[in-house]
Amino acid sequence: MKVSAIIPAFNEEERIENVIKPLLDSPLINRIIVIDDGSIDLTAKVVSKYPVELIRLPKNKGKAEAVKVGLSYCQEDIILMIDADLVGLTTIHLRDLIAPIKEENIEMTIGIFEGGRFLTDTAQKVAPNLSGQRAFKGSLVADILSLDTKGYSIEMALTKLIKNKNISTKKVILKNISHVIKEEKLGLYKGALYRMKMYGEIIKHWLN
């Protein structure tokens, strides 16, 4: 079964290499696609140093739309969705996300951080369905592309799809991994606003 990995990225020049390298090192990954979501830094220049496919969007569309663009290029049996700002990603994490799709009757895995950083571990314990680290069968691509992601993060849209289509899922513990939080990227004020919007999406989703 062939595996493609998609990495949506916005202004990740300082971090994305730490994600690309383990993907390239993994014998399980056949194709790597980076979607540069209108970055205004050197993300595209950094990515272009590596033997991966780079799709550059002229302006920022948001993660959900960037993921959809990446998926529209995928024809592989398994799709791996990985954030561009991970800290501590290894080939073992990639294997653990992919294995249940290959070896069990599972359609989608959801990676949950453990033993990384207190803030990211806690956030995923509180809201595991917001994890951006996933693997899923290629047969789900058409359903994901048809999702209405307006007003939702891609993760919340996937949560609705799982519920509506009764998709078999499995949570996979990812040890000693974390990501850079929004407050660190954007500053305390902007990061806090982003977090409030994100949790607002969760509430909106569960009320619908």
**Nearest-CA neighbor of 80 among 32, 26, 13?**
32
Model confidence pLDDT, tens digit, residues 53-64 = 999 999 999 899
As a whole number of angstroms, the distance between CA 78 and CA 101 comes to: 8
CB atoms within 10 A of CB 176: 15
- Are the beta carbons of 82 and 18 closer than 8 angstroms? no
HSE on the CB side for 150, CA within 13 Å? 1
Q: What confidence category does residue 125 fall into, taking pLDDT thresholds of 50, 70 and 90?
A: low
**Nearest-CA neighbor of 170 among 117, 102, 118?**
102
The domain ranges of the chain are 3-148+169-179
Vertex 41: Cα angle to 85 and 110 (nearest 5): 20
Vertex 109: Cα angle to 114 and 84 (nearest 5): 65
CA dihedral 95, 101, 104, 108 (to 10 degrees): 120
Sign of CA dihedral 135, 207, 192, 121: negative
Q: Over 60: is that where the pLDDT of 206 sits?
A: no
Model confidence pLDDT, tens digit, residues 12-71 = 999 999 999 999 999 999 999 999 999 999 999 999 999 999 999 999 998 999 999 999
The pTM assigned to this predicted structure is 0.85
The domain made up of 3-148+169-179 is a member of CATH 3.30.390.50: no
- Could you write out the DSSP letters of every residue in 98-164? HHHHHHSS-SEEEEEEESS-HHHHHHHHH-GGG---EEEEGGGHHHHHT---TTS-HHHHHHHHHHH
Residue 29: predicted pLDDT: 98
